[in-house]
Chain A
Amino acid sequence: MSCRYSYGGDEHIFVEVDPSMSLEAFFTSLSMTNAVRDAKIEGITEICPANASFQIKFDPDVIAPEDLMARLQELEAQAEAAPAVLDTRIVEIPVYYQDPWTHETLMRFRERHQDPAATDLEYAARINGYDSVEAFIEAHSGAPWFVSMVGFVSGLPFLYQMVDRDRQIEVPKYLRPRTDTPKQTVGYGGCFSCIYSVRGAGGYQMFGITPMPIYDPEQKVAHLKEFMVFFRPGDIVKWKPITREEYDRILREVEEGSYTPRIRPVRFSLEEFNADIDGTNAKLMEALHAD
């Protein structure tokens, strides 16, 4: 894998690890951004890892753009040699699929959709070759996901499913973006799932909603007291389909301050994963449910 470097004006360097998404590209991006952080290069003001690329913001009054470019290129070889092993955490996120709120929203924006006669889930299931919405939800929630980028708006995670390429779901974005999306909607665009952290515009297909807050600028929610943003790149997520009753119960617990997300520490090795995808995922599930 050979990276493509470009300047973003006089204050950014943009590095595309690969034009296509893959776990290999994600891990290279993550290793490189870690290497850049560890190198403590003076003049760097922001390090932003993304799915298969990353961006460095810098002050050209402190470091010349070509000098920083050369330093980053040196770090590429170092990052590629680093083992793709990650000490991270796995989080269970409850999802109420086919909920009334995203349903109301998707009906409101039907004229902006590829298939106005179907719901987003029916459409996604059909174009990905699933017989039923239930089978599609099973595929979406059956295997874990990597948080491969945090961004767009405050604390929104982009997630990439940990299955081999031919099992990966792909859906287009809306023909024209919506002006409204319920907060905590679980969306899908390209090969990425996301959770909308705030209410607002959005172009991803809408599959469901989670009662678990992931962004709280007031930091009142129990699991966001330490920091207002929940996710970081490298987090592993497992969706757990829930019913309306469970949804309402969790909302109440969040309100009372008693809700605790299920989070467990895990070590992930890309090499082990590639050698045995289903086996690795099964071990991740064991770690998630070990108490």
Chain B
Amino acid sequence: MPINVISAGISTTVQDLGRPGYYHLGIPMGGAMDRMALRAGNLLVGNEEGAACLECAFFGPELEFTEDAVIAITGAELPPKIDGAPQPTWTALDVRAGQVLSFDYLQAGARAYIAVAGGIDVPMALGSRSTYAIGALGGVKGRAVQPGDELPIGTGAKAGTGKSLPPELRRLPAARAELRILPGLYNHRLTEASLTQFFKEDWRVANEADRMGYRFQGGTPLEFVAQDQPFGAGSDPSNITDACYPYGSVQVPSGAEPIILHRDAVSGGGYFMLGTVISADMDLIGQLQPNMHVRFVPVDMATALQARHDRRQQLDRIRKALA
């Protein structure tokens, strides 16, 4: 018995932990922008951590349940309502057959996850149910959810109800967010003064902020070291001979507006990159709203690995709290 989609929000997609292994063919890892929130949602409803959920950006969908279900809303503070009655986030909730889940306006963060006991049971594509819309792969017919869609629910989850994740284990970016970056890749293309300035400035999230990448505005245009462009790179100083892009890498076309590549990133191209957001901070990016202020903080590998370690411990605490 499926979930009927009444309205779809702005961009609601089926996501799990993604499909690694095909980036060399231009098919990105995909998966939840905030993987920690997806994992927590699944643990709350008794799923495997990587089960498929709905990821919704900024506005929630309206969903009619045709069977009794246990659900949880995690990630952004997008207040859920069941038949119009307000419900808590980060909590396992009972929904009865015939009831409608809807949402109030977004209060914090950008992406919420709707986990359902049993998971969203769309067919697997290359080992994942994640929606990669550009490649028409995964999810519901390779696209975002639309009104009229019927979302199948899987079986076999051990759903508990009333579980809630303690507030100290939930994470959303502060009003003035910090993203830690390991400098490198092509940062030698910039003058030292320009690179230093980049890390000192106040940047704002631009409207162009989606699953492919987040654009930032407000800082000073970058200054490149003078050079003859290498053969094949293209004439703009921000061009390189088309290469692979790491997830989280910061590219700056024409030196003007940095773009951080995210889960549905293009796998490569011809723009230089000055460094890469560390893995521990990737989840935070998907929770940034347009116009939020962001600082980029340069860190070294030891700090990146320590942050990764801390993040794993945080996940262990979530697992323990919801065991």
State the A residues within 8 Å of B (CB).
Answer: 6-12, 14, 16, 18-22, 45-55, 57, 60-61, 65-66, 149-156, 158, 160, 165, 170, 172-173, 189-192, 197-198, 200, 215, 217, 229
> Whole-angstrom distance between the alpha carbons of A82 and B236 in the complex?
35
Verify A172–B233 contact, CB threshold 8 A. no
Verify A192–B246 contact, CB threshold 8 A. no
> Whole-angstrom distance between the alpha carbons of A54 and B268 in the complex?
10
Q: Output the residue of A151, A152, A229 with the most chain B CB within 10 A.
A: A151
Q: Is B85 an interface residue (CB 8 A)?
A: no
- Beyond A19-B230, A51-B241, A198-B135, 4 extra complex contacts between A and B, CB < 8 Å: A21-B241, A149-B268, A189-B270, A200-B134
Assess A198 versus B134: contact at CB under 8 Å? Given A150-B24, A151-B25, A217-B142.
yes
Verify A12–B301 contact, CB threshold 8 A. no
Q: Is B31 an interface residue (CB 8 A)?
A: no
Residues in B whose Cβ lies below 8 Å from that of A158: 242
Determine how close the nearest CB of chain A comes to the CB of B132; give it in whole angstroms: 8
Nearest B residue to A45, CB-CB: B20
Q: Output the residue of A46, A153, A165 with the most chain B CB within 10 A.
A: A153
Residues in B whose Cβ lies below 8 Å from that of A22: 231
Verify B185–A60 contact, CB threshold 8 A. no
Residues in A whose Cβ lies below 8 Å from that of B301: 7, 10, 65-66
What would 16 A/B residue contacts be, using CB atoms closer than 8 Å? A8-B249, A9-B246, A9-B304, A11-B248, A19-B241, A20-B232, A51-B242, A53-B243, A55-B244, A57-B247, A151-B266, A152-B269, A153-B267, A198-B135, A217-B125, A217-B137
Determine how close the nearest CB of chain A comes to the CB of B83; give it in whole angstroms: 38
Q: Which of A12, A173, A200 contacts B270 (CB 8 A)?
A: A173
Residues in B whose Cβ lies below 8 Å from that of A20: 230-233, 241
Q: Which of A9, A21, A53, A198 contacts B278 (CB 8 A)?
A: A9
Q: Which of B25, B26, B279 contacts A10 (CB 8 A)?
A: B279
Residues in B whose Cβ lies below 8 Å from that of A172: 234-236
> Whole-angstrom distance between the alpha carbons of A211 and B132 in the complex?
24
Q: Is B182 an interface residue (CB 8 A)?
A: yes
Verify A50–B242 contact, CB threshold 8 A. yes
Contact string against A for B residues 68-93, beta-carbon threshold 8 Å, 1 for contact and 0 otherwise:
00000000000000000000000000
Residues in B whose Cβ lies below 8 Å from that of A152: 26, 242, 266-269
Verify B23–A151 contact, CB threshold 8 A. yes
Contact string against A for B residues 108-142, beta-carbon threshold 8 Å, 1 for contact and 0 otherwise:
00000000000000000100000010111100001
Verify A57–B23 contact, CB threshold 8 A. yes
Q: Which of B20, B25, B235, B276 contacts A12 (CB 8 A)?
A: B276
The number of A-B residue pairs with CB atoms under 8 Å apart is: 179
Determine how close the nearest CB of chain A comes to the CB of B66; give it in whole angstroms: 28
Q: Is B184 an interface residue (CB 8 A)?
A: yes
Residues in A whose Cβ lies below 8 Å from that of B247: 9, 11-12, 57
Q: Which of A7, A149, A173 contacts B182 (CB 8 A)?
A: A7
Nearest B residue to A10, CB-CB: B304
Determine how close the nearest CB of chain A comes to the CB of B8; give it in whole angstroms: 21
> Whole-angstrom distance between the alpha carbons of A12 and B247 in the complex?
8
> Whole-angstrom distance between the alpha carbons of A155 and B184 in the complex?
28
> Whole-angstrom distance between the alpha carbons of A53 and B232 in the complex?
13
Residues in A whose Cβ lies below 8 Å from that of B276: 7-9, 12
Nearest B residue to A19, CB-CB: B230
Determine how close the nearest CB of chain B comes to the CB of A198; give it in whole angstroms: 6
> Whole-angstrom distance between the alpha carbons of A32 and B16 in the complex?
32
Residues in B whose Cβ lies below 8 Å from that of A154: 25-27, 132, 134-135, 137
Determine how close the nearest CB of chain B comes to the CB of A89; give it in whole angstroms: 17
Verify A192–B134 contact, CB threshold 8 A. no
Nearest B residue to A5, CB-CB: B184
Assess A10 versus B134: contact at CB under 8 Å? Given A51-B243, A57-B23, A172-B235.
no
> Whole-angstrom distance between the alpha carbons of A190 and B249 in the complex?
22
Determine how close the nearest CB of chain A comes to the CB of B226; give it in whole angstroms: 15
Verify A173–B234 contact, CB threshold 8 A. yes
Assess A8 versus B185: contact at CB under 8 Å? Given A16-B243, A151-B25.
yes
Contact string against A for B residues 215-244, beta-carbon threshold 8 Å, 1 for contact and 0 otherwise:
000000000000000111111100111111
The 10 A-B pairs at the shortest CB distance, nearest first, are namely A21-B232, A8-B246, A9-B276, A55-B244, A154-B135, A151-B267, A12-B246, A20-B230, A151-B26, A191-B232
